[in-house]
Amino acid sequence: MILEIIKYPDPFLKTHAARVESVDDSVRKLIDDMIETMYYARGIGLASVQVGDPRQVVVLDVPDEDENERAKGKNLMALVNPEIVSTEGETLYEEGCLSVPGVTADVERAARVKVRALDRDGKPFEIEADGLLAIALQHELDHLSGVLFIDRLSRLKRELVKRKYKKSLETEERAI
Protein backbone atom coordinates (compact mmCIF):
# COMPACT_ATOMS: atom_id res chain seq x y z
CA MET A 1 0.00 0.00 0.00
CA ILE A 2 1.31 3.41 -0.97
CA LEU A 3 1.31 5.73 2.02
CA GLU A 4 0.97 9.49 2.07
CA ILE A 5 4.25 11.30 2.64
CA ILE A 6 3.94 14.11 5.16
CA LYS A 7 5.30 17.44 3.96
CA TYR A 8 7.03 20.24 5.85
CA PRO A 9 5.83 22.20 7.87
CA ASP A 10 3.55 19.46 9.25
CA PRO A 11 4.37 19.25 12.99
CA PHE A 12 4.38 15.42 12.90
CA LEU A 13 7.81 15.63 11.24
CA LYS A 14 9.12 16.72 14.66
CA THR A 15 8.07 13.40 16.20
CA HIS A 16 10.67 11.42 18.15
CA ALA A 17 9.95 7.87 17.02
CA ALA A 18 9.69 5.13 19.64
CA ARG A 19 11.76 1.96 19.73
CA VAL A 20 10.02 -1.14 18.38
CA GLU A 21 9.58 -3.70 21.17
CA SER A 22 9.14 -6.69 18.91
CA VAL A 23 9.48 -6.95 15.13
CA ASP A 24 6.10 -8.50 14.35
CA ASP A 25 3.87 -8.70 11.28
CA SER A 26 2.59 -5.15 11.77
CA VAL A 27 6.18 -3.86 11.62
CA ARG A 28 6.87 -5.98 8.51
CA LYS A 29 3.72 -4.56 6.90
CA LEU A 30 4.95 -1.04 7.67
CA ILE A 31 8.35 -1.92 6.11
CA ASP A 32 6.68 -3.27 2.94
CA ASP A 33 4.40 -0.23 2.62
CA MET A 34 7.34 2.12 3.15
CA ILE A 35 9.38 0.34 0.44
CA GLU A 36 6.45 0.62 -1.98
CA THR A 37 6.02 4.31 -1.09
CA MET A 38 9.76 5.03 -1.45
CA TYR A 39 9.84 3.56 -4.98
CA TYR A 40 6.60 5.29 -5.95
CA ALA A 41 8.04 8.64 -4.82
CA ARG A 42 11.41 7.85 -6.51
CA GLY A 43 13.30 8.28 -3.27
CA ILE A 44 16.43 6.48 -2.10
CA GLY A 45 15.34 6.44 1.53
CA LEU A 46 12.29 6.89 3.71
CA ALA A 47 11.70 7.10 7.46
CA SER A 48 8.53 6.03 9.31
CA VAL A 49 7.94 9.54 10.69
CA GLN A 50 7.54 10.76 7.10
CA VAL A 51 4.52 8.49 6.60
CA GLY A 52 2.93 9.34 9.93
CA ASP A 53 4.11 6.29 11.89
CA PRO A 54 5.92 6.88 15.20
CA ARG A 55 7.90 3.59 15.25
CA GLN A 56 11.65 3.54 14.52
CA VAL A 57 11.79 2.14 10.98
CA VAL A 58 13.89 3.24 7.98
CA VAL A 59 14.08 1.83 4.45
CA LEU A 60 16.85 2.60 1.95
CA ASP A 61 17.84 1.67 -1.58
CA VAL A 62 20.91 3.76 -2.34
CA PRO A 63 22.43 3.27 -5.81
CA ASP A 64 26.09 2.39 -6.15
CA GLU A 65 28.18 5.37 -7.16
CA ASP A 66 29.16 3.88 -10.52
CA GLU A 67 25.54 3.10 -11.37
CA ASN A 68 23.82 5.19 -14.03
CA GLU A 69 20.48 3.51 -14.02
CA ARG A 70 19.38 2.57 -10.56
CA ALA A 71 19.10 -1.17 -10.09
CA LYS A 72 15.90 -1.26 -8.09
CA GLY A 73 16.12 -3.52 -5.09
CA LYS A 74 19.86 -4.19 -5.37
CA ASN A 75 20.80 -2.31 -2.21
CA LEU A 76 17.42 -2.43 -0.52
CA MET A 77 17.53 -2.58 3.26
CA ALA A 78 15.16 -2.11 6.16
CA LEU A 79 16.38 -0.96 9.56
CA VAL A 80 14.38 -1.22 12.78
CA ASN A 81 15.59 0.72 15.85
CA PRO A 82 18.70 1.95 14.00
CA GLU A 83 21.41 3.72 15.98
CA ILE A 84 24.73 5.23 15.02
CA VAL A 85 27.55 3.41 16.79
CA SER A 86 30.44 5.51 15.48
CA THR A 87 31.26 8.20 12.93
CA GLU A 88 34.42 9.32 11.17
CA GLY A 89 35.44 12.29 9.04
CA GLU A 90 33.34 15.01 7.46
CA THR A 91 31.64 15.46 4.12
CA LEU A 92 29.39 17.95 2.35
CA TYR A 93 26.57 16.81 0.08
CA GLU A 94 23.62 18.50 -1.63
CA GLU A 95 20.61 16.87 0.02
CA GLY A 96 16.93 16.88 -0.73
CA CYS A 97 14.00 15.26 1.07
CA LEU A 98 10.65 13.79 0.03
CA SER A 99 9.08 15.78 2.89
CA VAL A 100 10.58 19.06 1.67
CA PRO A 101 10.12 18.66 -2.09
CA GLY A 102 11.60 21.06 -4.60
CA VAL A 103 14.52 22.37 -2.55
CA THR A 104 18.06 21.15 -1.90
CA ALA A 105 20.98 22.39 0.18
CA ASP A 106 24.52 21.39 1.09
CA VAL A 107 24.57 19.61 4.44
CA GLU A 108 27.59 18.69 6.54
CA ARG A 109 27.66 15.08 7.73
CA ALA A 110 30.10 12.47 8.91
CA ALA A 111 31.86 10.81 5.97
CA ARG A 112 31.66 7.31 7.42
CA VAL A 113 29.23 5.74 9.86
CA LYS A 114 28.69 2.47 11.60
CA VAL A 115 25.00 1.76 12.29
CA ARG A 116 23.42 -0.98 14.36
CA ALA A 117 19.82 -2.07 13.76
CA LEU A 118 17.38 -4.98 13.63
CA ASP A 119 16.36 -6.49 10.29
CA ARG A 120 12.80 -7.43 9.27
CA ASP A 121 13.10 -10.67 11.21
CA GLY A 122 14.22 -8.88 14.36
CA LYS A 123 17.82 -10.05 13.98
CA PRO A 124 20.52 -7.53 14.94
CA PHE A 125 23.04 -6.47 12.29
CA GLU A 126 25.69 -3.80 11.77
CA ILE A 127 26.49 -1.85 8.66
CA GLU A 128 29.57 0.25 7.88
CA ALA A 129 28.99 2.82 5.19
CA ASP A 130 30.68 5.67 3.35
CA GLY A 131 29.68 7.80 0.35
CA LEU A 132 26.01 8.39 -0.39
CA LEU A 133 24.86 5.50 1.80
CA ALA A 134 26.51 7.07 4.86
CA ILE A 135 24.77 10.37 4.10
CA ALA A 136 21.40 8.73 3.49
CA LEU A 137 21.65 6.74 6.72
CA GLN A 138 22.33 9.91 8.74
CA HIS A 139 19.52 11.78 6.92
CA GLU A 140 16.95 9.03 7.60
CA LEU A 141 18.05 8.49 11.20
CA ASP A 142 17.61 12.23 11.74
CA HIS A 143 13.96 11.85 10.69
CA LEU A 144 13.45 9.40 13.58
CA SER A 145 14.52 12.20 15.96
CA GLY A 146 12.27 14.78 14.33
CA VAL A 147 15.17 16.47 12.53
CA LEU A 148 15.03 17.60 8.87
CA PHE A 149 18.03 18.41 6.68
CA ILE A 150 17.03 22.07 6.74
CA ASP A 151 17.43 22.02 10.54
CA ARG A 152 21.12 21.33 10.00
CA LEU A 153 21.70 24.52 7.98
CA SER A 154 22.83 27.86 9.34
CA ARG A 155 19.95 30.16 10.27
CA LEU A 156 20.53 32.40 7.29
CA LYS A 157 20.68 29.53 4.82
CA ARG A 158 17.67 27.86 6.41
CA GLU A 159 15.56 31.01 6.00
CA LEU A 160 16.62 31.22 2.36
CA VAL A 161 15.66 27.59 1.68
CA LYS A 162 12.35 27.98 3.56
CA ARG A 163 11.46 31.04 1.50
CA LYS A 164 12.23 29.16 -1.72
CA TYR A 165 10.15 26.21 -0.50
CA LYS A 166 7.18 28.44 0.35
CA LYS A 167 7.37 30.04 -3.05
CA SER A 168 7.42 26.67 -4.82
CA LEU A 169 4.37 25.55 -2.80
CA GLU A 170 2.46 28.64 -3.91
CA THR A 171 3.39 27.95 -7.52
CA GLU A 172 2.22 24.37 -7.12
CA GLU A 173 -1.16 25.54 -5.81
CA ARG A 174 -1.69 27.63 -8.89
CA ALA A 175 -0.70 24.85 -11.25
CA ILE A 176 -3.46 22.97 -13.05
Query: 24 vs 84, which CB is nearer to Ni ion?
Result: 84
Which residues does residue 134 pair with via DSSP β-bridges, in sequence order?
none
Beta strands in the chain (DSSP E): 45-47, 57-61, 76-88, 91-95, 105-109, 112-118, 124-129
Query: 81 vs 99, which CB is nearer to Ni ion?
Result: 99
Minimum distance of Ni ion from residue 45's CB (angstroms): 7
Minimum distance of Ni ion from residue 32's CB (angstroms): 20
d(CA 27, CA 128): 24
Residue whose Cβ sits closest to Ni ion: 97
- Per CB under 5 A, the segment of 14-22, 51-59, 93-101, 120-128 that binds Ni ion is 93-101
Select the residue interacting with Ni ion from 97, 117, 129, 150 (CB under 5 A): 97
Given 21, 65, 88, 140, the catalytic residue: 140
Alpha carbon 155 to its chain's center = 22
- Per CB under 5 A, the segment of 67-75, 89-97, 102-110, 125-133 that binds Ni ion is 89-97
Which residues does residue 125 pair with via DSSP β-bridges, in sequence order?
117
**By CB under 5 A, residue 80 contacts Ni ion:** no
Whether 140 is catalytic: yes
State the DSSP string of 72-113.
TTTTEEEEEEEEEEEEES-EEEEE--TTSTT--EEEEE-SEE
The footprint of Ni ion (CB under 5 A) covers: 97
Which residues belong to the active site?
Answer: 140
